[in-house]
Amino acid sequence: MATILIAEARFYPHLNDMLLAGARKAIEAAGHSHETIAVPGALELPAAISLAAKSGRFCAFVALGVVIRGQTYHFEIVSEESARALMDLTLAGFAIGNGVLTVENESQAIERADPGQGDKGGHAARAALALHELREKYGA
């Protein structure tokens, strides 16, 4: 049994609760355990994962959060930089499922986050587990 870290940006708690429910369900269905940490926003997710990875306690990571377009350029910076940093960590050998939603409005976020609809939290957890299995298979 592996331990997966779920790192969540709690900027929109009601939306994150749905993502978190889907991720937890997928991890538990695969027979693994999980821990959850919260950070203020999506930009902090890569740093939190990198710091937690140094403990050696986790075999994979799930990044969860919601970024909703506002009236400024901030949306682009947050969505692009968090995705880029998570991808950098993935390419460095970390098994990370990216469940950070980047949407135009709250209704799009609900549709994607709800485990009964888009289940993006569950998808991100399954992606992290798949990468973990590949790493195990290839001895990385």
Contact 86, 79 (CB under 8 A): no
Tell whether residue 42 is among the known ligand binding residues. Answer: yes
Tell whether residue 134 is among the known ligand binding residues. Answer: no
Contact 82, 116 (CB under 8 A): no
Tell whether residue 10 is among the known ligand binding residues. Answer: no
Tell whether residue 68 is among the known ligand binding residues. Answer: yes
What is 82-131 written as a DSSP string?
A: HHHHHHHHHHTT--EEEEEEEESSHHHHHHHH-TTTT-HHHHHHHHHHHH
Tell whether residue 102 is among the known ligand binding residues. Answer: no
Tell whether residue 112 is among the known ligand binding residues. Answer: yes
Tell whether residue 125 is among the known ligand binding residues. Answer: no
68, 69, 99 from 73: Cα distances, Å: 12, 9, 21
Q: Among 14, 34, 74, 123, which one carries the catalytic annotation? A: 74
Catalytic, 34? Answer no
Output the known binding site for (2S)-2-hydroxy-3-oxobutyl phosphate: 71-72, 112
Q: Which residues are catalytic?
A: 74
Output the known binding site for 5-amino-6-(D-ribitylamino)uracil: 11, 42-44, 66-68, 98
